[in-house]
Amino acid sequence: MRIVSDTDLPDLADVEARVRAAIHRRDSSGLRLLGHGEVSIVLGWPTDEPVHALKRVPPFRTAALAQQYIDACEQNFAVLRAAEVQLWPTSLHTVVRDDGRVVVYHRQPVADPVQIGSNVLRAAEPADSHPLLDVIVASVVRVVTPTVGFDVQVANWLWDGTTAQQLDFTSPFLMTPARDDLLFDTSGFLQEYPAVLRPLLRRELTTLIRRLTTAEGAIGDMISNLHKEGLHQWVDPAIRAARNVAGVSVDKATAIKMYEDDKKLMPVALKLKKVQRAWLVRTGRTYDSLLPDRTTYE
Ligand SMILES: Nc1ncnc2c1ncn2[C@@H]1O[C@H](COP(=O)(O)OP(=O)(O)OP(=O)(O)O)[C@@H](O)[C@H]1O
Ligand SMILES: [Mg+2]
């Protein structure tokens, strides 16, 4: 990872204060959003001319839990590097808030949107294959193990014409040896949902992560996301790349079913977060995440 000198870094206490104000107003219009996935919102900083891309992870209750998350991220970087995956330069930073909670930010240089994998495929002429898809499927088989998952959807990669770099590190999918949980405490993520649903969601999350620990599952998930992005013309080339480059067979119908399930689930999940937010606000407490207006499925 590139070491960012302190003078390069934005004042994260100031960033956190601005994010909290936006959360409080339930309005992110004063911030510059570079993108969002299903988990994090990516902030451009400074707002008027961004040089940093900042990804805020839901706050941890204690410094020890934040450290556990950071350790899992560092281990994930090491696993990916050992598997010869190219990584977009990323550093992790913490802000200790007055209320004792610890917020972790991932800091990256701002990427050229033209190079984001989904935009690359959208702009490319239809073809039987694409080198980005070949690199992705080849990297999956080098990374996944029963305890290491990999989220390889095309929007998580940058492609400069010759090299693919992974840019999404906010959820390190490293599991315990028993494969029943992640290596870090996910309650901050689950805190965004109504309490009654958390046990169910925790089970769903475990199922999803187990899916990402097999090459078939991780590539199937990537293909299901091609449908989400409207990149249907790249589904057959991706299935072909999986077979020819990685020796993995992915069933087209299963990928469509995954997409249809996610398309139903994700907007419900976001609505549930909004319900939880309304409930906390009504009972005089604060919700601690900035939510997008809609999911990437709408
Ligand atoms: N460094 C960056 N510069 C510009 N845009 C970025 C950068 N990082 C991410 N983005 C944009 O934001 C989107 C979401 O980012 P990312 O994949 O890291 O988060 P996420 O999908 O919410 O993470 P998670 O896998 O934890 O759900 C990316 O697909 C991309 O379009
Ligand atoms: Mg992502």
Query: Is there a contact between 173 and 151 (Cβ–Cβ < 8 Å)?
Result: yes
Residue 8 is predicted with a pLDDT of 75
Report residue 133's pLDDT band, with 50, 70 and 90 as the boundaries.
very high
State the chain's maximal CA–CA distance in angstroms. Answer: 57
Is residue 77 predicted with pLDDT exceeding 90? yes
Amino acid of residue 70: I
Is residue 205 predicted with pLDDT exceeding 70? yes
Distances 89 to 110, 167, 236 between C-alpha atoms, Å: 10, 8, 32
Mutation to probe ligand 1, out of 76, 106, 116 (largest number of atoms < 8 A from CB): 116
Is residue 7 predicted with pLDDT exceeding 70? no
116 CA distance to ligand 1 centroid (A)?
9
Residue 189 is predicted with a pLDDT of 87
Residues with CB under 6 A from ligand 1: 34-40, 42, 53, 55, 108, 110-111, 116, 151, 155-156, 167-168, 170-171
The model's pTM is 0.93
Is residue 186 predicted with pLDDT exceeding 60? yes
Report residue 6's pLDDT band, with 50, 70 and 90 as the boundaries.
low
Gyration radius from the chain CA atoms = 19
Q: 3-state DSSP call for residue 156?
A: helix
Q: Determine the average pLDDT of the residues in 20-30.
A: 90
- Closest residue to atom 8 of ligand 1, CA basis: 167
Q: Determine the average pLDDT of the residues in 212-223.
A: 97
**Model pLDDT for residues 260-296, shown as the tens digit of each residue:** 998 998 999 999 999 999 999 899 988 999 998 889 8
Is residue 3 predicted with pLDDT exceeding 70? no
Strand arrangement of the beta sheet that strand 32-36 belongs to: 32-36, 41-45, 52-56, 102-109, 91-96
Q: Determine the average pLDDT of the residues in 99-105.
A: 95
Length of the chain: 298
Report percent pLDDT > 90 for the chain. 82
